[in-house]
Amino acid sequence: MNTDKKALLLIGSPKGESSTSASLGDYLISKLEQSGMKTERGFIHRLVNREEKIQNLFEMIDRADLIILTFPLYVDSLPAPVIKAMELIKEERDRLESKKPKSFIAISNNGFPEGFQNMTALHICRIFAEDCGFTWKGGLALGQGGSIAGRPLLEVGGMVRNVVKGLDITARAMIDGKDIPKEAIDFFSKKFIPNFFYNIVVNLGWRLQARKLGTKKEIRDKTYAS
């Protein structure tokens, strides 16, 4: 293991430190740090709102050997600040005459029962990586992400044991310079709880939130219904 290697974690959730995206990414880079790899961490929504911050983003990218992007699924795609960051990074890479080799992985989570809902977003990440000249090492897709609710994975307990296994395997692959193995993808995407129970809990959460906001009567409204 080359301890001179540096990993950059880019967190794409506007919720910042309290997001599931941060929880997943922080666990992964903690494993990389334990191996001796140097790490850096940045929140994308804070890095794309001012010119000097954008320059900081470019410098972080330049220092990294491995880039890890974690984000929540927004309408089958990525949050707007993440898309903006991708566009800025691509433009900057096009301007560079000499490009240091870099590896890139992405971790997407959503509140749906199924992890496969993330696949379009991960394909976007792969295309972005290839357009920037990064080496695409693979992506991880997680459903039922709301169950983590931004808590550190080791505090969540046995419910996320397969998520932890998937990230442990991913960390070993990144340390060895390999692609994310299928075993890691399979573990990571396993459901925490059966769909029917998850749907009951999520729907209850929506009703409680609607009651709190005084919109309980409107929760079943259909905007375009005739």
**Residue that is written with structure tokens 């994308």 in the block:** 44
Residue 72, classified by CB atoms within 10 Å of its CB into exposed (0-12), middle (13-18) or buried (19+), is buried
Per-residue model confidence (pLDDT) at position 226: 58
**Residue that is written with structure tokens 């009567």 in the block:** 217
Per-residue model confidence (pLDDT) at position 195: 67
Average pLDDT per block of 10 residues along the chain, 226 residues long:
82 94 97 96 95 95 97 95 97 88 96 86 98 97 87 91 97 97 96 68 68 78 72
Q: How many angstroms separate the Cα of 96 from the Cα of each of 92, 99, 186? A: 7, 6, 37
Question: How far is it, in rounded angstroms, from Cα 102 to Cα 139?
Answer: 15
6-192: CATH, from 3.30.2270.10, 3.40.50.360, 3.40.50.2300, 3.50.50.60: 3.40.50.360
- pTM value is 0.88
Closest CA relative to residue 67, chosen from 157, 135, 15: 135
Instruction: Give tens-digit pLDDT for 73-118.
Output: 998 999 999 999 999 999 999 998 778 899 999 999 998 878 889 9
Which tokens sit at 95? 């301007």
Contact 19, 26 (CB under 8 A): no
Per-residue model confidence (pLDDT) at position 170: 98
Per-residue model confidence (pLDDT) at position 56: 96
Per-residue model confidence (pLDDT) at position 188: 95
Q: Which helix or strand (DSSP H or E) is residue 58 part of?
A: helix 51-63
Instruction: Give tens-digit pLDDT for 138-149.
Output: 999 999 887 888
Domain boundaries, the chain: 6-192, 194-226
**Residue that is written with structure tokens 């890890």 in the block:** 68
